[in-house]
Amino acid sequence: GAGVSQTPSNKVTEKGKYVELRCDPISGHTALYWYRQSLGQGPEFLIYFQGTGAADDSGLPNDRFFAVRPEGSVSTLKIQRTERGDSAVYLCASSSTGGNSPLHFGNGTRLTVT
């Protein structure tokens, strides 16, 4: 009965490095979302998967950001050549079907780029 699990919970990296953030959704949930939350802001949409495919990646800020979900379950958000402005909490959520079914959020990964 586990919820959405995100690892690591905290990540500190140097500017210019590559990072991967992992999300394990609730078992059986076909829809998976990535959001980014900066200090004092609401979550900002990044990308949405339905199954293995990215149904909407309109929120990815630039081509340094990429996400995959190869088997329709676990997803990885990848950030290349990190910048200090990438520092934020990255939230993952899943829902049973997408559409109007509620989103279940993980506790997030706090990324700090030094």
Partner 1 sequence: AQSVTQLGSHVSVSEGALVLLRCNYSSSVPPYLFWYVQYPNQGLQLLLKYTSAATLVKGINGFEAEFKKSETSFHLTKPSAHMSDAAEYFCAVRYTDKLIFGTGTRLQVFP
If binding is defined by CB under 8 A, does position 11 make contact with partner 1? no
Q: Which of residues 84-113 bind partner 1 (CB under 8 A)?
A: 91, 93, 98-100, 102-108
Cα(113)–Cα(13) distance, integer angstroms = 5
Q: How many CA atoms lie within 13 A of 2 on its CB side?
A: 10
What 8-state DSSP symbol labels residue 42? -
Nearer to partner 1, 12 or 55 (CB): 55
Q: How far is the CB of 35 from partner 1 (least distance, A)?
A: 8
Q: Are 53 and 66 in contact (CB under 8 A)?
A: no
Q: How far is the CB of 91 from partner 1 (least distance, A)?
A: 6
Count residues contacting partner 1 (CB under 8 A)? 27
